[in-house]
């Protein structure tokens, strides 16, 4: 074997070493990427579980809240009716109060 063959063989070994080192770096990079993806999958799964729990709680609360809202609307309607009746009675008293007072008590 002569010097040029040994040099060529050395160059090939160097290139192969570089290729192997690059493959190791790529493997480490892929490993890091897969670890990140796995962590994200775990977070997504935990988030799904939390969302399901919140949905169940909301469904349990939804009906009582709707019932409360219906009763609140009925209460507001009743207050409006009472207010209208009181205003009507007040209007009648103002309009005919003096005539009724004179008729009952005289002057």
pLDDT tens column, 27-69: 999 999 999 999 999 999 999 999 999 999 999 899 999 999 9
* CA dihedral for 45, 46, 47, 52, sign (positive or negative): positive
Taking the whole predicted model, whether its pTM rises above 0.95 is answered as no
**pLDDT band, residue 1 (cuts 50/70/90):** low
Host domain of residue 95: 1-107
> How many domains in the chain?
1
């Amino acid at each position: 074997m002569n010097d040029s063959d040994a040099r060529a063989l050395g160059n090939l070994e160097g290139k192969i070493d570089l290729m192997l080192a690059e493959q190791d770096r790529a493997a480490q990079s892929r490993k890091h990427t897969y670890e990140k993806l796995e962590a994200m999958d775990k977070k997504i799964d935990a988030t799904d579980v939390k969302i399901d729990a919140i949905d169940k709680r909301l469904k349990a609360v939804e009906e009582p809240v709707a019932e409360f809202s219906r009763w609140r609307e009925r209460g507001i309607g009743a207050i409006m009716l009472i207010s209208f009746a009181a205003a009507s009675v007040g209007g009648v008293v103002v309009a005919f109060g003096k005539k009724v007072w004179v008729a009952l008590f005289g002057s």
